[in-house]
Amino acid sequence: MPEKPAELLKEVVNLEKKVNTTVLPPELKEKALEMVSRLSRMVKFGEYSTEYEKTAHFIDWITSLPWDKRSEDVLDLDNAKKILDKNHYGLGDIKERILEYLAVLRLKGGMRAPILCFVGLVGTGKTTIAYSIAEAMGRKFARIPFGGMGDPLDLRGQSRLRPDTEPGLVIKALRRTGTKNPVILFDEIDRVTTEGLSSIMGVLVELLDPEQNTAFRDHFIDYPFDLSEVLFIATCNNTTNISVAVMDRLEPMQMPSYTDEEKITIGRDYVLPRTMEEAGLEKEALTISSEVWPQIVRPLGYDAGIRTLERTINGICRKVAKMIVQGKGKKFVITSENIKEFLPTW
């Protein structure tokens, strides 16, 4: 914070310029300019200790929000199918439902279709399929984790009357994406704390209801923000803890568990190439023989998702990277004879 009144007056002028050069709702702009004017008067009387910080913080937030910025939707079903097939193996029914969903959005001219909620065990691809929907539509993506959330103010923000306050996670997601029509994923909405369950579900109803979310009011911003163009997607492990009012606004889609055969295909064709690239390995640096994939898929017993599979392949790639750096070879073939040397030990 500037210390001298002359420096501070210069900063106040900059704040006023920032407000005037940003597209803001008229009432909010008027309110912000009143705050700047009040700050200017306080500077002249030397009473600006914390007021500058509070005003500057508020103006920084409101001028960074996408009040009128949106991305152009891509609702090409062929393109969407390519992206879904590129990122996900199988899931035929889920992919078909997503394509139907995009078709409805296209026919309705971008108006809201039912809100998808992916239900399934850990590692079955609930979160990643939400990323793929955003990619297919050409929209920005933000994820809000609900695991362990206990206070509805996490979503709705805190009043500026309290020191060191911040907007809620929804407004933060909008600032991060820079558009007013991103895909926002509410991840694991069944994992909020017992104490905060009913109040958080109440805020969720408001966020997901098209009748209410056109004027969502964050306590920090204290001005309605239109969320009607946001595409909300939710995930949960099961629907037991989710209120009836929230479920009424969702369209649940059950994510299937993967068989060992499906996991082998996913590991070989999707996870391994991606993990090798992330580890800096050339394509020819690592080959895994077909007979060892069952051991890679199930090193510790049954797992419905692919998290363990991803960790195992990641561990193999790290070991290979280390051996290459140590000069122990440039190409490695994993077979049933040497698999134990490469499998991570837990």
Q: Which two tokens stand for residue 79?
A: 């393109």
Query: What domains are defined for the chain?
Result: 5-62 (no CATH), 77-254 (3.40.50.300), 260-342 (1.10.8.60)
Distance of CA 213 to the CA centre of its chain: 19
Each residue's pLDDT expressed in tens, for the chain with a length of 346 residues: 455 666 777 888 888 999 999 999 999 999 999 998 888 888 776 666 677 888 889 999 999 999 999 999 888 999 999 999 988 888 888 899 889 888 888 887 655 667 899 998 887 889 999 999 999 999 999 999 999 999 999 999 998 877 788 999 999 999 999 999 999 999 999 999 999 999 999 999 999 998 899 999 999 999 999 999 999 999 999 999 899 999 999 999 998 888 888 889 999 999 999 999 999 999 999 999 999 999 888 765 556 678 888 889 999 999 999 999 999 999 999 999 999 889 876 5
Cβ atoms of 23 and 67 within 8 Å: the answer is: yes
**Distance (Å, whole) CA 94 – CA 97:** 5
Residue found by looking up tokens 């609900």 in the block: 146
**Distance (Å, whole) CA 308 – CA 80:** 28
Contacts 24+ apart (CB under 8 A), 328-336: 330/285, 331/284, 331/285, 331/286, 331/287, 332/285, 332/286, 332/287, 333/287, 333/288, 333/289, 334/286, 334/287, 334/288, 334/289, 334/292, 335/289, 335/291, 335/292, 336/289, 336/291, 336/292, 336/295
pTM for the full predicted model: 0.82
